[in-house]
Structure 1
Amino acid sequence: MGKDIELVVYGAEVLCPSCVNLPSSKEQYEWLQAAIGRKFGEDVVTYKYIDIFNPPEDDQHKKFAERVVEEDMFYPVVLIDEEIVGEGNPKLKTVYKALQERGLEPQL
């Protein structure tokens, strides 16, 4: 398959006000990478982390980062191929399901 699937995590260094007891967005991003790598293998997903308060200049990521802030979404917000699959405290089961719907198979 090889890197056709993109997982983007929108988050911030400061914790979401409603997510005080959860790991930071960056920690959850790294945790998702490790968990997905163990289940599906390395190099099958492309990962990006976007700081919602300092997004890159490209329109797509900048607009969604603004949306996260304006709509007071719980972050991190996890997208797979532009579909929101997790918000605040992403669930691995939901992320895995979205990846399998896109053709990834768990490794044995």
Structure 2
Amino acid sequence: MKKQVKIVVYGAEQLCASCVNLPSSQETFEWLHAAISRKYPNQPFDIIHVDIFNPPNEEELSQFAERVIEEDMFYPVVTLEGNIVGEGNPRLKDIYKELEKYGYSQAE
């Protein structure tokens, strides 16, 4: 593995108006954590959940949270190393593809 990546799930407690039948951002966060851990065991990664209406004081995270609101993005929005890899209903296949660019490889 080349680099331990940072995955951020941006969302809110209240579901996005256009995402009513989709999982919440917290549920997406938990689902992604479990799915990535199973697919790439013993390959560490950082994953955090950011409430877009109450972001942490870290400038990068708070600026992107503001962008999600201003641009009316469908949340949850998932970023991997700062690049958007999913919005509204993120696809595991897309996230896995991006992880593999950083040297993650499937369990044997």
Bin for the TM-score computed over the shorter chain: over 0.9
Q: Where has structure 1 moved over 4 Å in runs of 4 or more?
A: none
Aligned to 2:77: 77
Following superposition, the deviation at residue 14 of structure 1 comes to 0.3
C-alpha separation in 2, matches of 1:48 and 1:15: 18
State the Cα RMSD in Å: 1.3
TM-score, with length taken from structure 1: 0.95
Q: Which runs of 5+ in 2 are unaligned?
A: none
Deviation readout 1:79-108 (Å, 9 max, x if unpaired):
000000000000000000000011100112
* 3-state SS, counterpart of residue 26 of structure 1: helix
- The 5 Å alignment of 1:1-108 reads 1=1, 4-42=4-42, 44-108=44-108
- The more displaced of 69-78 and 1-10 is 1-10
Evaluate the alpha carbon distance shift between residue 2 and residue 27 of structure 1 in structure 2; reply closer, same or farther with a 3 A threshold.
Answer: farther
Identity %, equivalent residues: 56
1:2–1:44 CA contact under 8 A, matched in 2: no
Shift, 1:2, TM fit:
8.3
Which structure 1 residue ranges, 5 or more long, are not aligned? none
Distance (Å, rounded) in 2 between the aligned partners of 1:11 and 1:105:
28
- Give TM-score scaled by structure 2 length: 0.95
- Give the total of aligned pairs: 108
Q: Equivalents in 2 of 1:2, 1:22: separation in Å?
A: 33
Deviation at 1:41, TM superposition (A): 1.1
